[in-house]
A and B are shown apart, each in its own frame.
Chain A
């Protein structure tokens, strides 16, 4: 608790990218990622082109490069996996710096790294320029089942509350001299997890009663209907269309 009213991944701003309707941005990012994934991996310059496109979006959204790079760190586990690929893959071997590596493994590692990084960067830009609630409204506009959107919105709304509850339990444990050091202490941690489940479930029941007493009948009222004009759609779809052109060039050149 005590956090601001926006999510920590969101960067407040008034750029043209921030102003776009959320469902346009979601559709654009999804189309962009699909185009990136279906690009042949041999067209290395195409991926440089995609990176330039994303850099352009980041510039237009005034998201600093340091912020973007820091958020890319989430990818590190898969980078470790990709580094392993050239050693274990089959096929003809090539000598690089005195190491015998598999050629197809090198291509595979490059493929995962390039496409994975571009996908993460696109998602980070989306989350940095779109408020959480707007993102959920966008998902609803894109015809995700309303019940699923409601569940997601409850998860987002109470995620921080539940996490904070867990943090308070940890502080309570530590202030009583408990420190989890190994497998012997799993019992205590599991009891905390069980208590957390009971508290979450009971909170869910209370939330439901509160909603019912305010007239909830199975669906949430939509207060601010977001609509997108043709200009906004064309503006948002510039990114995937440019990427698609690069992809076509990558296939035929």
Chain B
């Protein structure tokens, strides 16, 4: 379901747009790694496939029918980066050409239907494949679960965006229950179709399924009546890429989201706190040990404007997280590089 203009207010739409643009930029890089210079024709044709398969009607019963959303299917068949790219291009063209989904809501649409479905389904798919036995059957099972999870996840993220910037005060609990409830049902259909489609592709061209790449058995040679492992093909070393650009982009996006969006976000307590207050659960809550810290309750002390103080706290929080996180990584890396020469000298001895 495509969100039209005017459904989510302007600041949150803009923030979702920034998020979607960042995701598309990252996927453009990643897709080049997945497909190299074949990116444009292959991603274009897969996008055309997603566009066409969304028109394939699956009859349910008594005249009703459903169709695929395609996020999970694209992620499993062609990989997460190309998947995000294809769904985003389909949504862009639907918005510009067919007026399906508003132009200002494009960021919201790409974030929920493109990024969230692909990322959630791919993570679930990869995680399940690690656990399940390495057989073709497990790919189908993992595809089923991944597609089943992806649809309600998109609905939940949409509800979150609605809570931040919705233009009508519908009770959030009702929206969440209705959205996730309906989308679990849709997700079951999506899961069945996705699993069957992935299964049929695997049966014919297993090499085309990105998600099943690790499953091909190693090449064996029969030498003198005995099976011997063939020598693995030499793998070209990937050129080292500087992750600095990605880091900087991510940092900028987090800062914008934390500062700018929380500036506009509702000053009301969040859903959980509200439920707690309504039900009287929070009477027993003890004050947090850090309640006197200068950032307690997501605000900066001595700044009277609640929104400005919330935004500042967001920015400071992101900064602190980055500093602490990078510090930990830096320390770990130092230890590893320090340990490496020792190991080498032992080898030499």
Interface, chain A (partner B; CB < 8 A): 7, 9, 26, 29-30, 33-34, 36-38, 41, 71, 74-75, 77-78, 85, 88-91, 104-105, 107-109, 111-112, 114-116, 118-124, 126-127, 132, 135, 139, 145, 147-148, 150-159, 161-163, 165-166, 180-183, 185-187, 189-198, 200-201, 203-205, 207-208, 211, 217-218
Across the interface, which residues of B come within 8 angstroms of A218, CB to CB? 37
Q: Is the CB of A37 within 8 A of B55?
A: no
Minimum CB–CB distance from A87 to chain B (whole Å) comes to 10
Q: Is the CB of B208 within 8 A of A190?
A: no
Residue B309, interface by CB 8 Å: no
Minimum CB–CB distance from B86 to chain A (whole Å) comes to 8
Q: Is the CB of B48 within 8 A of A116?
A: no
Across the interface, which residues of A come within 8 angstroms of B208, CB to CB? 197-198, 201
Q: Is the CB of A127 within 8 A of B97?
A: yes
Q: Which of A104, A139, A163, A197 contacts B169 (CB 8 A)?
A: A104
Bound-complex Cα distance A41 to B10 (A): 13
Across the interface, which residues of B come within 8 angstroms of A119, CB to CB? 4-6, 99, 102-104
Q: Is the CB of A201 within 8 A of B52?
A: no
Q: Which of A112, A145, A201 contacts B7 (CB 8 A)?
A: A112
Residue B219, interface by CB 8 Å: no
Q: Is the CB of B96 within 8 A of A204?
A: no
Q: Is the CB of B4 within 8 A of A34?
A: no
Q: Which of B39, B46, B168, B204 contacts A200 (CB 8 A)?
A: B46
Residue B100, interface by CB 8 Å: yes
What would 11 more interface pairs be, CB under 8 Å, given A182-B60, A194-B200? A37-B10, A74-B100, A120-B5, A127-B97, A132-B97, A163-B52, A189-B58, A191-B196, A193-B197, A194-B196, A197-B46
Residue B192, interface by CB 8 Å: yes
Minimum CB–CB distance from B203 to chain A (whole Å) comes to 8
Bound-complex Cα distance A91 to B9 (A): 19
Chain B: number of interface residues, binned into ranges:
35 or more
Q: Is the CB of A155 within 8 A of B6?
A: no
Residue B45, interface by CB 8 Å: yes
Nearest B residue to A145 via CB reads: B28
Contact count A vs B, C-beta below 8 Å: 253
Q: Is the interface of A mostly helix, strand, loop or mixed?
A: helix
Bound-complex Cα distance A208 to B44 (A): 11
Bound-complex Cα distance A21 to B207 (A): 44
Across the interface, which residues of A come within 8 angstroms of B201, CB to CB? 194, 197-198
Minimum CB–CB distance from B32 to chain A (whole Å) comes to 8
Residue B218, interface by CB 8 Å: no
Encoded as 1 (CB less than 8 Å from any A CB) or 0, chain B from 186 to 222 comes to: 0000001100111111011100100000000000000
Q: Is the CB of A204 within 8 A of B46?
A: yes
Residue B53, interface by CB 8 Å: yes
Nearest A residue to B11 via CB reads: A38
Q: Which of B38, B46, B52 contacts A166 (CB 8 A)?
A: B52
Residue B1, interface by CB 8 Å: yes
Across the interface, which residues of A come within 8 angstroms of B57, CB to CB? 180
Shortest 8 CB-CB contacts between residues of A and residues of B: A154-B44, A115-B6, A108-B168, A190-B196, A194-B200, A119-B5, A204-B45, A116-B4
Bound-complex Cα distance A89 to B68 (A): 30
Nearest A residue to B192 via CB reads: A186
Residue B111, interface by CB 8 Å: no
Residue B170, interface by CB 8 Å: yes
Q: Is the CB of A34 within 8 A of B51?
A: no
Q: Is the CB of A151 within 8 A of B47?
A: yes
Across the interface, which residues of A come within 8 angstroms of B148, CB to CB? none
Q: Which of B1, B5, B25 contacts A77 (CB 8 A)?
A: B1
Residue B89, interface by CB 8 Å: yes
